[in-house]
């Protein structure tokens, strides 16, 4: 199983690579469009700002490669946000456009800090192969200041002053707002499910 972890200067690539290698995957951190296009799986990681991330993907010639990729693709943290149409971060940015909606600044109310950082319980909205073996109430590790819109693409939610779309899907593209590589047994199970998806 070859997995391309997209390297574009905005990702937590090493921890994702180690987590996949522990599961037996051949995980390669790369910005090579050919390696990404030919991989059996692609992971789009991310920590940072959406506009910067899209600028880097465009500069490296990776945006059309990602849009054309027709096998399982997983966006992690900022990578999930990039699956949507647009972000309000900074002056705003157009994103990959796989899922309708605008990513907005997280506003959990006056009693909760931003970013949302730490462990939160997951509630399952609907079944999906990637959530097999993940139970309602299992915890995942979050670090984010922006919030994806909650809609038909949402598979699971957390609560942080309101619903947080923790897991989304559009066709062969999934996103998790949390970090599965840092989410202990539930995170490892999710990555294992991703590796075992039919191509």
> Any idea what the CATH number is for the domain that residue 66 is in?
3.40.50.880
Residue 181 among the catalytic residues:
yes
Find the catalytic residue in 77, 89, 144, 148. 77
pLDDT for position 11: 73
Global confidence as pTM: 0.96
- Asked whether the predicted pLDDT for residue 198 surpasses 90, the reply is no
Beta strand 139-144 with 116-121 is: antiparallel
In the chain, the number of structural domains is 1
pLDDT for position 10: 77
Q: Catalogue the long-range contacts made by 23-29 (C-beta closer than 8 Å, 24 or more residues apart).
A: 23/188, 23/191, 23/192, 23/195, 24/195, 25/1, 25/195, 26/1, 26/2, 27/3, 28/2, 28/3, 28/4, 29/5
Tens digits of residue pLDDT in 4-22: 999 998 777 999 999 999 9
Beta strand 93-94 with 139-144 is: unpaired
Residue 116 among the catalytic residues:
no
Is residue 52 very low, low, confident or very high in pLDDT (cuts 50, 70, 90)? very high
């Amino acid at each position: 199983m070859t997995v391309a972890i997209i390297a574009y200067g905005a990702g937590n690539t090493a921890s994702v690579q180690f987590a996949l290698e522990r599961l037996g995957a051949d995980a390669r951190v790369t910005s090579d469009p050919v390696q990404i296009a030919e991989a059996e799986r692609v992971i789009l990681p991310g920590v940072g700002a959406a506009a910067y991330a899209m600028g880097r993907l465009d500069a490296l010639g990776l945006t059309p490669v990602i849009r054309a990729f027709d096998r399982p693709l997983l966006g992690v943290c900022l990578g999930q946000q990039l699956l949507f149409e647009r972000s309000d971060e900074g002056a705003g940015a157009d994103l990959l456009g796989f899922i309708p909606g605008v990513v907005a600044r997280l506003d959990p109310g006056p009693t909760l800090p931003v970013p949302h950082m730490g462990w939160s319980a997951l509630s399952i909205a609907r079944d999906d192969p990637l959530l097999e073996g993940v139970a309602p109430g299992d915890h995942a590790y979050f670090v984010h200041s922006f919030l994806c819109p909650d809609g038909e693409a949402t598979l699971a939610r957390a609560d942080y002053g309101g619903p947080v779309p923790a897991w989304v899907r559009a066709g062969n593209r999934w996103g998790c707002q949390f970090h599965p590589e840092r989410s202990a047994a539930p995170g490892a199970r999710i990555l294992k499910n991703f590796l075992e998806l039919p191509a």
